[in-house]
Structure 1
Amino acid sequence: MSHKLKKITIHLIEDDISQRDSIESLLVYKDYIVKSYSAAKDFFKNVPFERPAIVIADIQLPDLSGVDLHRILMEKNITCPIIFISGEASIQQSIDAMKQGAIEFLVKPFEIEELTDAVTKAIHIELKEINLNLLIENLSPREREVYKLLLKGHNNQELIDKLHLSLPTVKQYKSEVMRKLNVKSLSKLIELAK
């Protein structure tokens, strides 16, 4: 079915060779496709990359901080999950990373389980987003408008006012959006997009 689409690629950016090798061999052993880089500039040569993908990045790269790397990805509209690893975590860095939407912040030396749990969590989030994006592509432009307004919590009357449609038409659009996104209720629709 859908998660058979493509294997997930893990982009690993770590300048410490021994650290990079040990993380890479662990992930390869777990049957992931891993692309490794020793610096952000090498990684950016590969951007944009195919999704589904996740990024594991050292927070202190020689040429860029992990937080900046994440910001640049977001500016390029690449929203895949990111896990940061750090030798000596400054509290501020981890706060900045999390505020910006990092999935996890691991401080070395971390346990193998911590890393694999973070990777599993990131993959789950990535596949959910990819699936949602595929579903949204099936919506007509009008249905997409309705979807965005529903996410903002607009009720029928607000939809009627904003879209200049009649109530039966609004209801029709709503049920189409929910059918195409395969959700039974509005709360499920909002949960899907979280």
Structure 2
Amino acid sequence: MPSDAVVHVVDDDLAVRKSLAFLFASDGLPVRLHESASAFLDGLDAIQPGCVLTDVRMPGLDGIELLRRLKARGLRCPVIVMTGHADVPLAVEAMKEGAVDFIEKPFNDHLLLAAVRGALARRAAASETDARTAAIRERLDSLTEREAQVLEGLVAGKANKVIAYDLGISARTVEIYRAHVMTKMQAGSLSELVRLSLAVERVAR
């Protein structure tokens, strides 16, 4: 996981914030404390990536509303909610809103640390996927219109002759375009070319 990944603790209880700060710092995890969901959202633009650990019940904006607002902003940072035993139904609702896990109070330190590290690992994996997808999109954008048409035919499983017929060009010309597409997409084989194209399509859905 990235060394600069930060655990953001959102809780209106100062004692809880201090306790969690000590726990995470003792385990070598950078941590930032936020006294409310509103305070966290207000400083969101300057916040380092990582994961969020938030109480589900807080005055003003609660943990569920925080999840909804993060989702509305298109932010995919993993969120873990903290809940009392009586608030488990709320925690389930939070997971339906996108929380990756919930932790019941009083905490088991080992379980909490495992949940947080799991969330940070998930964030790191998502960031790597986003970077790969962006790189593939750049390669796709570098294709000419005709190269993109040939690629579309290849991904559809069409033979060179069929693509040539569809586009009104010769099979030899299709082979030339195909070679250009393979080079620009940095694909070593047709199967790899198809996988690259489908990876971007899945993300776009």
Residue type at the aligned position of 1:157: A
Of 29, 32, 36 in structure 1, the residue corresponding to residue 33 of structure 2 is: 36
- Aligned positions of 1:1-194 closer than 5 A: 6-141=3-138, 143=140, 156-157=155-156, 169=178, 172=181, 176=185, 186=195
Aligned counterparts of 2:179 and 2:44: Cα–Cα separation in 1? 40
Aligned counterparts of 2:90 and 2:157: Cα–Cα separation in 1? 41
Larger Rg: 2
More helix, by proportion: 2
Residue type at the aligned position of 1:35: R
Aligned length: 176
- Structure 1 runs (4+) deviating above 4 angstroms are 158-161, 164-173, 183-186
Indicate how the Cα distance of structure 1 residues 59 and 156 shifts in structure 2: closer, same or farther if over 3 A, else same: same
Indicate how the Cα distance of structure 1 residues 111 and 91 shifts in structure 2: closer, same or farther if over 3 A, else same: closer
> Could you say what secondary structure the match of 1:110 adopts?
coil
Aligned counterparts of 1:52 and 1:170: Cα–Cα separation in 2? 40
Q: Which one is further off, 93-102 or 132-141?
A: 132-141
Alpha carbons 1:156, 1:170 under 8 Å: kept: no
Aligned counterparts of 2:49 and 2:181: Cα–Cα separation in 1? 33
Identity %: 22
Could you tell me which runs of 5 or more consecutive residues in structure 2 were left unpaired when the two chains were aligned.
142-153, 168-173
Could you tell me which runs of 5 or more consecutive residues in structure 1 were left unpaired when the two chains were aligned.
145-154
1:89-141 Cα offsets, whole Å, 9 max, x none, are: 43431221111221111110120011101011101100011112222222245
Deviation at 1:70, TM superposition (A): 0.7
Deviation at 1:33, TM superposition (A): 1.6
Root mean square deviation of aligned Cα: 3.9
Indicate how the Cα distance of structure 1 residues 15 and 136 shifts in structure 2: closer, same or farther if over 3 A, else same: same
Alpha carbons 2:185, 2:193 under 8 Å: kept: no
Alpha carbons 1:48, 1:78 under 8 Å: kept: no
Alpha carbons 2:79, 2:100 under 8 Å: kept: yes
Under a length normalisation based on structure 2, what TM-score does the superposition of the two structures give? 0.69
Indicate how the Cα distance of structure 1 residues 37 and 169 shifts in structure 2: closer, same or farther if over 3 A, else same: same
Indicate how the Cα distance of structure 1 residues 178 and 74 shifts in structure 2: closer, same or farther if over 3 A, else same: farther
Alpha carbons 2:83, 2:91 under 8 Å: kept: no
Residue type at the aligned position of 1:14: D
